[in-house]
Amino acid sequence: TEAYLQALEAARSLNAYVLETPEIAREMAAASDKRRGEGSAGALDGIPFGVKDLFCTKGIRSTACSNILGNFVPPYESTVTDNLWNAGAVLLGKLNMDEFAMGSSNENSAFGNVVSPWRADGDETPRTPGGSSGGSAAAVAANLCAAALGTDTGGSIRQPASLTGTVGLKPTYGRCSRYGIVAYASSLDQAGPVARTVRDAAAILKVIASVDDKDTTSVDVAVDDYEAAVDAPLKGLKIGLPREYRVDGMPEVIDDLWQKGADWLKAAGAEVVEISLPHTKYALPAYYIVALAEASSNLARYDGVRYGVRVNADDIVDMYEKTRAAGFGDEVKRRILLGTYVLSAGYYDAYYLKAQKVRTLIKRDFDVAFADGVDAVLTPTTPGPAFPLGAKTDDPVEMYLSDVFTVPVNMAGLPAIAVPAGLSGEGLPLGLQLIGRPFREADLFAPARAIE
């Protein structure tokens, strides 16, 4: 813990943390030492974590990196973080992110962007760590915590993990409780780890997974021994490569990496087959309708009355307007407007309802592949390596395209892991993604280990 606290001070220029909690960390570490002395240590005892600022931490400022929650100190703890502390983990601080988890580059934060610790060969241009869990990924990549928690609504754990050479896991929807996590799109949001190794991710999932009566969408299914699953043999495992992920304009380096990943899995004993997920191309547009619709509804609660910041005005409507105008950033406002539009009378059927139908088709594509005996689906995680900061900020649609390979997983509610698989020609990390059957996270760890 002391070594990490020193590292945080030395690396403030990355802007990975929005709040450091050294006193709390030392207290937790001392309690852990005591437990170890007594022989009662938990599964993650003494391991220093960073936590995305989307998780409510009791008595500790939790802002979702939005000005509207700039002064919010929750009176309760999220279930996932509670599970971590009960296993003995130590909190180093809260991590930067895109405001309300809306973004793919961590440039939408009220606390400013995060800088990736990675640079291209011979090029000092600062790069994005990805987003929205950009602080989590940068902190793990730069050794500013042993592991971190992130959340993933459309790729926000896997995309930043891929761009920073770390491991990111999005569990099955319902595997972890969403209680105490600031909501973005409730039918898509899941918490999960960003870690240095597949084995670390497995150990963390074991701890954070739980059914919770405070989240009725959490599911009561057995939590497997994920660490043992890391060393399972690959023989008998069938891996599918979906031909629809070979999108136009995919850089050759990504295509090559994908092929290499397939070869590694074959060499380790798995069977690799081509499969079809015919509705893939509709996933991204449908995601940006469903997610924004839910976001516009979830964010209605920030009215200056119940949470956070208030801008006073003469009457209540004026107060709402001024508070929301001052409290939300541009991307959040854009999404509230789009989300409100697709839900409005007259457009609901054309957009929202249509997107929900597409969502069902996407889920069915995966069901068919799994029914055919496929155990996991292998794809690239991102269409390219980390881009320079500022490269896509003027073009939201270009930014949304970074999520093309990750959003189908959330639409279908499936588990998926992003694993570092190699470097681009300019020396930047690239990842591959393995997607599994619902609640079969255990199937993903051994193939992920064969790639890492």
Catalytic residues: 52, 132, 156
Q: How far is the CB of 182 from ligand GLN (least distance, A)?
A: 11
Q: Which of 62, 113, 132, 172 binds ligand GLN (CB under 6 A)?
A: 132
Within 13 A of 119's CA, how many CA atoms are on the CB side?
7
**Residues 376, 435: contact at Cβ < 8 Å?**
yes
Q: Is 103 an interacting residue with respect to ligand GLN (CB under 6 A)?
A: yes
What's the residue count for the chain? Answer: 452
d(CA 55, CA 34): 27
Pick 158 or 199: Cβ nearer ligand GLN: 158
Binding residue count for ligand GLN, defined by CB under 6 A: 13
Nearest CA among 163, 164, 217, 166 for reference residue 190: 217
Which residue's CB is nearer to ligand GLN, number 79 or number 151? Answer: 151
Q: Which of residues 275-294 bind ligand GLN (CB under 6 A)?
A: 291
Q: Which stretch binds ligand GLN (CB under 6 A): 152-160, 222-230, 278-286, 351-359?
A: 152-160
Is residue 381 near ligand GLN by the rule CB under 6 A?
no
Cβ contact 101:132 at 8 Å? yes
Q: Which is nearer to ligand GLN, 238 or 334 (CB)?
A: 334
> 237 or 434: whose CB is closer to ligand GLN?
434
Cβ neighbors of 335 (< 8 A, separation 6 or more) are 102, 291, 292, 295, 296
Q: What is the 3-state secondary structure (H, E, C) of 376-407?
A: EEEEECCCCCCCECCCCCCCHHHHHHHHCCCH
Q: Is 148 in the site for ligand GLN (CB under 6 A)?
A: no
153 lines the binding site for ligand GLN (CB under 6 A): yes
- Could you say which of 152, 365, 441, 443 contacts ligand GLN (CB under 6 A)? 152
Tokens linked to 295: 């976001």
DSSP string, 212-280: BTTBTTS---PPP-HHHHHT---TT-EEEEEGGGS-TT--HHHHHHHHHHHHHHHHTT-EEEEE--TTG
Which H/E stretch holds residue 413? Answer: none
Which span sits near ligand GLN by CB under 6 A: 70-78, 154-162, 192-200, 315-323? 154-162
Of the candidate residues 154, 160, 261, 413, the single one contacting ligand GLN (CB under 6 A): 154
88 interacts with ligand GLN by CB under 6 A: no
104 binds ligand GLN (CB under 6 A): yes
| Cβ-contact 381, 258 below 8 angstroms | no
Nearer to ligand GLN by Cβ, of 47 and 176: the residue is 176
Residue whose beta carbon is closest to ligand GLN: 156
Q: Is 332 exposed, middle or buried (0-12, 13-18, 19+ CB in 10 A)?
A: buried
Which residue, 102 or 446, is less far from ligand GLN as judged by CB? 102
Which one of 95-103, 114-122, 197-205, 377-385 is the stretch in contact with ligand GLN (CB under 6 A)? 95-103
Nearer to ligand GLN, 25 or 332 (CB): 332
Greatest Cα-to-Cα distance within the chain, rounded to the nearest angstrom: 70
Element (H, E) at 204: helix 198-208
Residue span 160-199 as binding mask against ligand GLN, x where in contact by CB under 6 A, dash where not: ------------------------x---------------
Q: Are 263 and 445 in contact (CB under 8 A)?
A: no
Residue 105 binds ligand GLN (CB under 6 A): no
Q: How far is the CB of 10 from ligand GLN (least distance, A)?
A: 29
